[in-house]
Structures are given as C-alpha cells and as structure tokens.
Structure 1
Amino acid sequence: MLAAATGGILDAGFPDRSWWVLAPVGVALMLVALLGRGPWAGLLIGMVSGLSFWLIHISWLTLYLGPVPWLALAGLESLFFGVSLALIGVVLNVGPRVWPGAAGRLGVVPLVVAGLWTAREAISAVWPYGGFSWGRVAISQSESPFNGLVAWVGMSGLSFLMVWLSTLAVQLVREVTVGALARWSIGVASVAVLLVVPAWPAVPSGTARIAAVQGASDAGLFARYSPGQILADHTSATLPLIGRKVDFVVWPENASDIDPTRSDDAAKVLNYLGTAMNAPIVAGTITQRDGKFYNSSLLWKAGEGAVDIYDKVHPVPFAEYMPDRAFWRPFAPELIDLISRDYTIGTRDNVFDLDGIMAGIAICFDIADDQLVREMISDKAEVILAQTNNADFGRTDESVQQLAIARLRAIEAGRTVVNISTVGTSAIITPDGESLDRLPTWEPGAMVETVPLSDTVTPAMAGGRVIEWFVSGLGLAGFLLCLLNALRTRQGRVRSG
C-alpha cells in the first residue's frame, strides 16, 4: 500500500499541483518502503511505486492516443524504477555495514542512494529511442526555493541534491546513536546550506524586442482542419502587431501547416508579414527534402525565404516516427498504422542568427534534452526559443510540465526562454525563472516584450555532464561495494552453517 501511495505523492510535487515539497517526501517514503526488504522485494516495490507515479504523471497521453501508448510508456519507465529501487534497497540495508558509524550511515549512504537515483534518470533520459526526460525529480522544483541550484549543478545535479536530502532525512530517523537535537540540527543545516547558495548572476549582454504569437490552433496529429487553417490562425494573431517595432517574430511548432518552402501562397503570407513587421520570422512547419520529412523551424526573411532551417533532432518515437515498425506492428497494428509518415532525425545545428541576435532553437521535447541545450549555449545562443505544439494534449498537465522544464532551462542556462505554443502554455521566462509574460491557453494572442540577452556561461553549462557522470558513478560504485559485502556475508553464513 505504501509503495502504491508514494507514486501519487511524488506526482503531486509536479505541475499542475506544484506542491513541490511533496516530491522529496514521496521519494523518502519510497525509501522507507525498501527498509528490511531484499532485492526482489525492492524490485517489486520499485515497479509498483514507479507505475503509480507514471500512470498519473503522463495520463495526458490517453487524450488522443488512447491507453496503449500510456500503459506501454508507464510500464517501461516503471521497469527502470524497479531496477533502481532494487539497487537502492541493497544500499539502504547493507550500506550501514559497509560504512559503519554515524558518519558512514549519514554521510555516505545518502550520497550513494542519490547517485543511483540520478543514474536511473540519466539512463532513461537517453535510452531507448532517444529516451524520455519527463519525471525527473528536478522538474518538480521549478518554482521552489531550490530552483536556483540548477544553474550550478544542472538538472541531474538538482535531482541528486533533492534525493540526497530525502535519503538523509530517512537516515536521520533511523540513526539511534545520535541524539535527537543533533539529528534535527543536521537536517536543518543541510536544507539551509542549499537554500543559501546564491543565484548565478546572468549578466545581460543586450536586449531584444520579441513578438511571440499563439494562434490557438488545433494542430494535433489527428485534428481535422482545412489546409492553410493553422497558417491563417497565426497570421490573424500576428496582424494586430503590425506597426510595433520588434527585432523578430516567433511562431510555434507546426504554426504553418503548409510548407512555405514548397508553397508560393504560404511564402507570400510570410513575405507580407515579414515586410509589414520589418523583422524576420521564426516559424515551425513540416518540410520535405530529398524524399524525407522533417519537423522543422524556419528562419524566414521577406524576399529571401528560408535563410536557415533547424530540423528536430529528437522526433518523438511512436508519434512522429515509428521505430522498428515491423517488430511493434503485430502488438497494435491499428495504432502503429496511424503513424503513416516518419519524420527524419535532424542533423543541423540548433542556433539561428537573427540579424546579430543568436537564438537557440528547441522544438517541443527538444527542451528536455540536456545535450541539445548545451550545444546551443556552446554555439553562443543569447536567448532560447522553445517552439511547441501541445494541441494533442488539450488542457491536461502536459503543457505546464513542459513549461516547468523551460523554466529550469532558463535558470540553468542563464538565458531568457520564450516558450511559445500553438495553444499554450505560452510564456516568456527570464534567467531568474520569473514569468515576464504569459498567454491564456487555447486563446489567440501575442506576447511582445523586451527581454535580456546574455552570453553568461553558468557552471552547469560549463560542466556539461561531468556532474551527472560523477554522481552516477559514485552511486554505482557504492552499490558494488554493498553487493560484494552482501555476497561475502552470505558465503560466511553458508560456511558456518
């Protein structure tokens, strides 16, 4: 029962509820459920906890795609959960023997447990089929007092620190050799140390006047609309901006349902708007080149056309393309056949030069990819444009979960993030994580704001994945030591018996 309840508690720490304090509480209760349990019981507890969390957390998948993808993805992620909690259970139960004394139980065990949790998040974020970066504990802290830590240690580092606090709390309760006052002092001091870490200063390098347009178009995979309707919706939402001086206009993913690189009529619309606004337009569309389809973002200049293109590097498996189609089709042929067109994986860089303003481009789930964000910062991006199409998920939690990721990216990279959607949740987020502007969901509109640019390199961006590798390696090494100790103890009992 406890294992099943912990998933719901952990999910409540994420948007839409955003009761961020419940995320570390949920983790702590998962650890409590492992105490005194063997690895097989730990595997079962982990799978039950993971399944209860993921079934709630990604329930938005069922809105248009039905239960099969929802159950499949939740089941896969619960397997990762199960294996990781089985390993963590070994550390919780054997670790006090490996590192005896209060210093070991309070100092080493929490580090190893947090490292194993981080390793699980890191692996599932990249594998299989490019991974799934949703559900990381760090994301639950997007609006908490701990969110500034992400600029120092990155997403994986923030997850590590939150799980470390949860594990330390459990170990403090278990520790009977230390007085109650000392244990309370250790717990309070640990939280205080993290809270007093100063925010990383994102020094502005200039400003840009940006117009971000939300057309409120139902641009879902299975939506029915007349050709050109989505383009018309975004055009209508842009027309009231004519006469306002901006440096560039950004439209969301799939904002033009007709490819202007292959349609003269669509090109004329963008040329007219670009001329009228006297600014380049960054617009999402589906392109076709050399017989291949791409989910693309175009840098469009009036009279010149698409002067740069970014193709989505991580099209969504089982939605934007079907991996291993022949293998998966027998399991759900009707669902697999719905994906009739496979988008090709992009290979172009993800930075546009907007008349001297370097903008990093992220299409939909790209914003959840650590490596892609680091690449755009390495390529001197001064602002991040996160174009997305959330129409498939209606008014569910998906859009606010994605916005939470965008908020953390703004802090982590020290950049303004323009999170612009076809339907919402659209917002402009400054490098301190604050929302400069926001649009109501499923209503057409535009945000026009002067935003700070920055060439700051935060420690998280400079360090890359070193922190993730280090803490994951620490966790795995600690587990191996516990495993060896458990095997030796078992062999000793067999011999003595």
Structure 2
Amino acid sequence: MDRLKALGRVLPRVAVAVAAGALLGFAFEPHDYPWLTIVAVPLFLAALTGASAKGGLLIGAGFGITYYLVLVPWLSVIGGDAAIALAILEGLFYAVFGAFATQVLKLKWWPLWIASLWVATEFATASVPFGGFPWGRLAWAFSDSPLGKLASLVGIPGLSFAVALLGVLVYAVLRPKSTVRFRIVAVVAGVAIVGGSALINLSTEGNGRVVNAAMVQGNVPGKGLEFLGRARTVTRNHLNATLDLQRRVQEGSEDKPDIVIWPENSTDIDPFKDAETRADIEAAVKAVGVPILVGAVLEGPGPNERQTTGIVWDPRTGPGEIYAKRHPVPFGEYIPFREQLLPYIKRLEMVGRQTAPGTKPGVLPINGVTYGDVICFEVAYDDVVRDVMKRDAQILVVQTNNATYGGTGQPEQQFAITRMRAIETGRTVLITSTSGISGVVRPDGTVEHKSSQFVPDVYVASVPVRDTHTLATTLGGWPQWILTGLGILGVVLALVARRRRATGGPEAPPAPTRSREKVPA
C-alpha cells in the first residue's frame, strides 16, 4: 500500500517531465523552436524538486524517453522497435541524471552543479555504448541563434552548458524558495550570457587563398541503396552530373573548380575491384581535370568486411589518399555481438558485411590545401572533428548519404549540426549528399547554399582557406572534461551531504531558503 501511495505521488511529476521532454524535442529541426529549451529545462527541474532519488529515476526516464521519441522519430524508417529501443536506452541516462539531480538541487550553488551535470550526461550519451549517440545535445538547436556563437569560444559542450544554465536560471527565478536577491542575480547572469553571446564577432576572413569547390549531388533512384543495379545507377548519376558541370565550365557559365566532391556512397561498389565503376570515376576525373574526392565502399580489410571511405582521385596520378570512416553506425553499418544476435534477429542480415572502422583522422592534402574529411554521422562526434582540426584542416568536408532518411527530418538535423561545427571550428564546411541535403556553410555558420532533397544539385563555391584557430579548437576537449568533472563533483557533494543527514552527522550547507539564502560570491 505504501508503495502504491509513493507511486501515486510520483506519477504527476512523471507527467510533467514527459511534457518537458516533448517540448525539448520540438526545440530541434525540423521544428526549430530553440527557445523551448529554456521552458523544458526548468519544467523538468520543477518535476524533480522535492522528489526522492528513486522517484528521480522514474521522472528522468519519462523525460529522456519522451525527448528522444520526439527528437529521432526518423529511426522508425528502420523499424518502430528500433526507435523505441533507442529512446529507452538514451532515457536511461536521463533517469540517472534525475536521480542525482534530486539530491544536487539541495546543495548551495545548485545552478552550477545542475548545468554541469547536464553536460556530463550528454558526454555519457555521446560515448557509450558502442561509441555513443551524440544527437541530443542542447547545442545543436542553436545554429540560427546568437547564442550559438558561444561555440566558437567554448565548443559544443560549453554551449550546451550555457543553454542548460539559462534553463536553470529561469527555474531559479521561478522557484518559490528563491529570495529576491537570488532572483536578481539569476536574471543578471542570464542577460549576461545572452547579451555577451550577441556581441561575439565571427570572422570569415581567410589567409588570402580561395578555392573553387564543386559539390555534386547526383541523386538516387528511390530511398536507400540496393546492391549492383541501383549502386551502379547512383555512380552513373554522379558521373553525369560531373560531366554536365564540365560542359557549363566550357561554355563559360560556371567557374572551373579546383576540386570536385562526391558524397558518401557515390559508389557502393569497390572501384579497385570493379572495372566498370573505376572507368566511371576516371571518366569524370578526366573530364573535369581536377581531383575528385570520391565516396566509395571498399572491400576488406578482413574477410566479410568493408570500409566506407573518401578517396582522393587525381586526374594525373589516379587514386591516392584514402580516409576510412572511424565511427561506423552500430546496427546500421556493423552489428555488435554479430554471431550472438544474427540467429535471433533476422532483419540484421540486411546490414551485410561488417564495416571496419578506420584508424586515422580524415586529413587530406589536395593541391596545397588541407581538407578535413568527416563522413555522415561523424560530424556529431567531437573527437572526429577535433582530430582533423589538430592537424590544421583548412576546409571541412562532410560526405554523407541520407537517402534512407529523406523527408523524415534527419537531414535537417544533421545540417544544423554541421552549421554548429562551422561556428565551432571557424571553417567553411562543404556538404555533399547523394540525395540531399548538400550545401555550403560559411565559417560563421551562415548558409551560402542548401540543396533540396531527392533532386540533382551541383554547386560551385569560392571557399576561403583559413589557418587561424578559434578558442574552442585551441582548448580542444578541456571544456568538456572540466564541466563533466564539475558535474561529478556536484554529485559527490550531494551524496556526502545525504549520508551525513542519514547518519545524523553535520550536514553540508542546505539549499537556500527565503530567510537565509545568500548570493554565491
């Protein structure tokens, strides 16, 4: 009976958290209401305040599962069960957040600890299991907002912290226990974050050199790719689009490119093993007379393995530098525990050969310019982008294939993530997709070109070559480690204070009340 009463008390809180999770999901593309973050976060905290740690688990799970169901419904293209399984998995991280947050909210300085704990939670979701899934970070919603400029200083983790802190400060203002003085401090801090970000000036100046880069979106025959028949058609579509580009160059209606970029899976057939595919690529390279960065699936390196790659194909010397995708998608490009799962889940056979991860960053020197190549979902992973910037990439390239998810909102979300990477790194980003969205994002995050989906599209951009680093790329992973450490420290302090209360020992400083709250120095 007592358990039923406890459940009855926590269920209204879970309902509030579910509403908060749904609101947060609508902050992102394709809905694009980023201001909902500062509604959802305080609503979630309101549901957690006063709850027990066990109650926080349920409240956090309700929030997280709903959040991901709204954020990534496009995964239902693979299967509704896949979308639900991912939402439950990611929801578990927010369940842990909820359990800890119920205790952290009792501490002095709780706004700092809660915002840091949020970053620690995002770090966990982006790391485990199987390399993590960094799609749900608060920062991704702010590619069109002045607040997004903060990414150039403190990176994506730092921006997520700022967004979470804004939500926390809103809750601090609305929280009944907050004194007038504490509310004033919260308002001033919030205004400083928003106003300060608006004053940041993002430079787009290069080192004086300009590269003409052509992005080729050849389009695909329907959603997804099937072996041989459709794969050859996709390669031929990119060949024909490249030949059409060269005709326009010869007519004088288009600038001659210095480099041509084909997307991920522009050939699903290994050009080193298949003469017809190789002939198509060489015909395109010979026609334009400049290197083409080809997205190709190669056989090997082991038996029943493949690699998703970007190959620099030169008109004089042929294939050269190769970048192999380092973060293949689990259950999409490879199957964890393959031997154990395949006998029970026949649908996994559609994955085919295991995609073996590459081991080297995608740093590709082409005609005196260093390109940083990342492939598809990799653009959301900090380490992949950080590694090419450590090696002084001057222009970023994202080769992608979103044909399976066309029209679901996933391409729009990935494009927003790409825009945030441009701001963070201070680099132009060139995006090529088989079916869209392809485009050009300037170093300040503004969009020069954005293609439609499921149409051929060829665009030539004059791209500044940049050598300077933003503060974010100079700091590298330090903001994430520091903020995660602060989040963990807040949890430790909260657990120590809880233990002292339970044993009757001296307590840690309690949460501020109306009569005794002090403004943190």
TM-score normalized by the length of structure 1: 0.92
Q: Which amino acid aligns with 2:233?
A: Q
Residues 1:230 and 2:234 are matched in the alignment: yes
1:208 and 2:221 equivalent? no
**Could you tell which deviates more after superposition, 305-314 or 262-271?**
262-271
Which of 243, 246, 257 is the equivalent residue of 2:257?
Answer: 246
Equivalent position of 2:179 in the other structure: 177
Q: What CA distance in whole angstroms lies between the structure 2 residues aligned with 1:286 and 1:113?
A: 44
Residue 55 (1) aligns with residue 75 (2): no
DSSP-derived class of the 1:131 partner = coil
Instruction: Kindly state the Cα deviation for residue 424 of structure 1 after the two structures are TM-superposed.
Output: 1.0
How far the C-alpha of 1:112 sits from its partner, in A, is: 0.5
Query: What residue number does 1:423 align with?
Result: 435
Contact in 1 for aligned 2:39/2:167 (Cα 8 Å): yes
Paired residues for 1:110-121 under 5 Å: 110-121=111-122
> Which residue in the other structure is 1:217 paired with?
220
Partner of 1:105: none
Change (3 A) 1:31 1:181: closer
Alpha-carbon distance between aligned partners in 1 of 2:197 and 2:443, rounded to the nearest angstrom: 18
Deviation at 1:274, TM superposition (A): 1.4
Q: Which one of 1, 26, 31 corresponds to residue 17 of structure 1?
A: 31
Q: Give the match for residue 432 of structure 1.
A: 444
3-state SS of 1:228 partner? helix
Describe the shift of the 1:126–1:192 C-alpha distance in structure 2 as closer, same or farther (beyond 3 A).
closer
Alpha-carbon separation, structure 1, partners of 2:483 and 2:216: 41
The offset of 1:185, in angstroms, is: 4.5
Cα distance, 1:482–1:75 mapped onto 2, change above 3 Å:
same
Distance 2:316 2:206 in 1: 32
Match of 2:495 in 1: 483
Distance 1:313 1:184 in 2: 42
Q: Could you tell which deviates more after superposition, 407-416 or 376-385?
A: 376-385
Conserved? CA contact 1:390–1:423, under 8 Å = yes
Alpha-carbon distance between aligned partners in 2 of 1:377 and 1:362, rounded to the nearest angstrom: 11
Q: Quick check: 2:312–2:322 contact (8 Å CA) kept in 1?
A: yes
Are 1:310 and 2:323 counterparts?
Answer: yes
Correspondence 1:199 to 2:201: yes
Distance 2:372 2:183 in 1: 50
SS in 2 for 1:473: helix
Alignment partner of 1:261 is 2:272: yes
Which residue of structure 2 aligns with residue 400 of structure 1?
412
Q: Which amino acid aligns with 1:293?
A: R
- Name the CA distance, whole Å, in 1 between partners of 2:187 and 2:158: 24
1:180–1:490 CA distance, 2 compared to 1 (3 A) = closer
The Cα shift of 1:222 comes to 5.6
User: Deviation of residue 197 (structure 1)?
Assistant: 4.3
Name the aligned partner's letter for residue 122 of structure 1.
F
Further displaced range: 182-191 or 250-259: 182-191
RMSD: 2.0
Q: TM-score, normalised by structure 2?
A: 0.88
Aligned residues, how many? 480
Question: What CA deviation, in whole Å up to 9, does each residue of 1:77-123 have, x standing for no partner?
Answer: 0001110122112111x21xxx2xxxxxxxx2111101111001111
Query: Which residue of structure 2 aligns with residue 155 of structure 1?
Result: 156
What's the counterpart of residue 284 of structure 2? Answer: 273
Tell me how far 1:196 sits from its aligned partner.
Answer: 4.0
Preserved CA contact (<8 Å) 2:310 2:322: yes
Deviation at 1:184, TM superposition (A): 7.3
How many angstroms does 1:176 deviate by?
A: 3.7
| SS class of match (1:204) | coil
CA contact 1:359–1:385 (8 Å) conserved in 2: yes
Task: Name the SS of the counterpart of 1:151 in structure 2.
Answer: helix
The residue that corresponds to 1:103 in the other structure is: none
Residue of structure 2 in register with 1:295 after alignment: 308
Counterpart for residue 102 of structure 1: none
- State the Cα deviation string for residues 299-357 of structure 1 (Å, max 9, x = none): 01124221111110011000100011234346x51222222310101113311111111
- Of 405, 427, 452 in structure 1, the residue corresponding to residue 464 of structure 2 is 452
CA 227–20 in structure 1, closer or farther in 2 if over 3 Å, else same = closer
Task: Describe how 1:82-97 pairs up with structure 2 within 5 A.
Answer: 82-92=95-105, 94-95=106-107
Question: CA 1:363–1:184 in 2, change beyond 3 Å: closer, same or farther?
Answer: closer
Classify 1:192/1:287 alpha carbon distance in 2 versus 1 (closer, same or farther; 3 Å).
Answer: closer
CA distance in 1, matches of 2:369, 2:27: 36
Classify 1:337/1:268 alpha carbon distance in 2 versus 1 (closer, same or farther; 3 Å).
closer
Q: Offset of 1:34 from its aligned partner?
A: 0.6
Name the residue aligned to 2:426: 414
Measured in 1, the distance between the counterparts of 2:167 and 2:469 equals 30
Instruction: Tell whether the 8 Å contact from 2:37 to 2:167 is kept in structure 1 after alignment.
Output: no
Q: Write the deviation string for residues 242-280 of structure 1: whole angstroms up to 9, x where unpaired.
A: 024111000110012332222222222222221221210
1:60-79 mapped onto 2 (5 Å cutoff):
60-63=74-77, 65-79=78-92
* Counterpart for residue 43 of structure 1: 57
CA 1:223–1:62 in 2, change beyond 3 Å: closer, same or farther? farther
Shift of the alpha carbon at 1:294? Answer: 0.5
1:371-416: per-residue Cα shift (whole Å, max 9, x none)? 1111111112110110000011121110011001100000100100
Q: Which residue of 2 aligns with 1:137?
A: 138
| CA displacement, residues 3-47 of structure 1 (integer Å, 9 cap, x when unaligned) | 111111001110111111112221121111111111111110110
Q: Which runs of 5+ in 1 are unaligned?
A: 100-107
**Matched-pair contact (CA < 8 Å) for 1:255–1:285:** yes
Which runs of structure 2 are paired with 1:305-344 in the superposition (5 Å)? Answer: 305-329=318-342, 332-344=344-356
- In 2, the alpha carbon distance for the partners of 1:91 and 1:250 equals 49
What SS class does the counterpart of residue 373 from structure 2 fall into?
strand
Partner Cα separation in structure 1 for residue 36 and residue 446 of structure 2: 22
Amino acid at match of 1:229: T
Counterpart of 1:62, as a letter, is: S
Matched AA of 2:396:
I
Counterpart of 2:45?
A: 31
Counterpart of 1:320, as a letter, is E
